[in-house]
Amino acid sequence: MQSRSYVRTVAIVFSILGLVVALLIHFIVLSSPRYNWLGEPAALIEQVNLGVTYLRALL
């Protein structure tokens, strides 16, 4: 049986680790009251209005 390449193994391990860290960060952000876009609609509307205000200020 041929041994696997060390570079291939490291690339797979770091890819999986990166995916896990990305998912963890997204769930932490979703659990915060300020950035939870799935929670209450009033907070979402407030964030959208704030974004539109900033966009209008840039233009």
pLDDT digits (tens, 9 = 90+) for 11-29: 999 999 999 999 999 998 8
pLDDT digits (tens, 9 = 90+) for 28-50: 888 887 777 777 766 667 778 88
**The predicted structure's pLDDT at residue 17:** 98
Q: Where in the chain are the domains?
A: 6-58
**The predicted structure's pLDDT at residue 38:** 73
Gap between the Cα atoms of 59 and 39, Å rounded: 30
**The predicted structure's pLDDT at residue 44:** 67
Neighbouring residues of 20: CB distance < 8 A, sequence distance ≥ 6: none
Rounded (5°) CA angle 49-55-58:
145
